[in-house]
Amino acid sequence: MKKLDEIFDIWYGVNLEFINCEEIQNGIPFVSRQSANNGVAGYVKPININPNPAHSLSIAGSGSVLTTFYHDYEYYSGRDVYIVKPKIDLSKEEMLYYCYVIEQNKYRYNYGRQANKTLKNIKVPSVDELPDYVKNKKTICPFSKKTVINATYQLNTENWKWFYYSDIFDIKGSKTTPKLLLEDYGIGNYPYVTTQAINNGVENYFDYYTEEGNVFTVDSAVLGFCSYQEKSFSASDHVEKLIPKFNCNKYIAIFLATVINKEQYKYNYGRKCSQTKLKQSKIKLPITEQGEPDWEFMENYIKSLPYSSNI
């Protein structure tokens, strides 16, 4: 990690008042502290002041503090807007990624605490610490920073590949534990997973478990509902297990469980999601350049979503 001013030159923008500028079509973009429309409040007639340079970031120092946008064009800027220009050669994708990283520090500021003195000290990844999907420019990032997260991790399923469940999971059953036995042990910290399709399949928590965590459970009695069990657990009847053959974490797990649950339409009371059917089934996943499941992409996609920090 490095301080922001080790990677970028940072200075105060041209500090104009939008109300004092003449709006025209096809004029120079005027960037304010607003958090919408890439910060562009309108387009104005050129004046005898050099605009801010293209291929730079604008950062709101007050108001919507630390709202950050990438601009690949010259532009004017309003009050309390800081300009950030890379000291080294950075691609558009890398600049957009830095937009996202900088904004993750917004929680440090508010309308009473501006970013004017501390902006330069914000810690960001050095270039060699950037994720491979940014360095390799695998995706096309859009013009607006506000959609950079979804664009950087675009779900273009046409480029995904089918895998048998048995390629990535060991498929096994779980031990059926009667609820009466669990009640004898008493309430505790271990989930009791059932075939219900709500609350992650968990009915209650007891002081007993039979199954190790970091696995997926699948209901084989009704609709094939899949959930991820991070902790050790016990289970009712008709709960199957998908045990990852790869290094799984909760972010990858949420991605996979969501994809698996898209297949629920295949099952009903007359066609159960049995172990046999699971072993015959396929799942379509994003892939690396080598054609293997792209676990890093799946993890980072989930991390990019709003409120992912609460997972």
> What local confidence, expressed as pLDDT, does residue 152 receive?
46
Q: What is the mean pLDDT of the chain?
A: 86
pLDDT tens by residue, the chain, 311 residues: 899 999 999 999 988 999 899 999 889 999 998 877 888 999 999 999 999 999 999 998 887 788 899 999 999 999 889 999 999 999 988 998 899 889 888 777 654 556 777 888 888 888 888 877 676 654 434 333 333 444 445 567 778 999 999 999 999 999 999 999 999 999 999 999 999 888 899 999 999 999 999 999 999 887 788 999 999 999 999 999 999 999 999 999 999 999 998 877 776 555 678 888 899 999 999 998 899 999 988 988 888 776 666 67
| Domains, in order of start, for the chain | 2-154 (3.90.220.20), 159-283 (3.90.220.20)
Contacts 24+ apart (CB under 8 A), 227-233: 227/193, 227/200, 227/201, 227/202, 227/257, 228/200, 228/253, 228/254, 228/256, 228/257, 229/191, 229/193, 229/200, 229/201, 231/189, 231/190, 231/191, 232/190, 233/190, 233/191, 233/192, 233/193, 233/202, 233/209
Name residue, tokens 């919507």.
Answer: 64
Largest alpha-carbon pair distance within the chain?
82
**pLDDT confidence of residue 118:** 82
Instruction: State the pLDDT at residue 150.
Output: 44
The whole-number pLDDT of residue 26 equals 87
Q: Which residues make Cβ contacts (< 8 Å) with residue 296, sequence separation at least 6? A: 131, 132, 133
pLDDT tens by residue, 58-109: 998 887 788 899 999 999 999 889 999 999 999 988 998 899 889 888 777 6
The closest of 139, 142, 144, 137 to 91, measured between CA atoms, is 137
The pLDDT of residue 129 is 83
- CB-CB contact of 219 with 201 (8 Å): yes
Burial annotation 61-100 (CB, 10 A radius, 16+ → b, else e)? bbbbbbbbbbbeeebbbbbbbbbbbbeeebeebbbbbbbe
Does the pTM surpass 0.85? The reply is no
**pLDDT, tens digit, 9 for 90 and up, residues 95-142:** 988 998 898 887 776 545 567 778 888 888 888 888 776 766 544 343
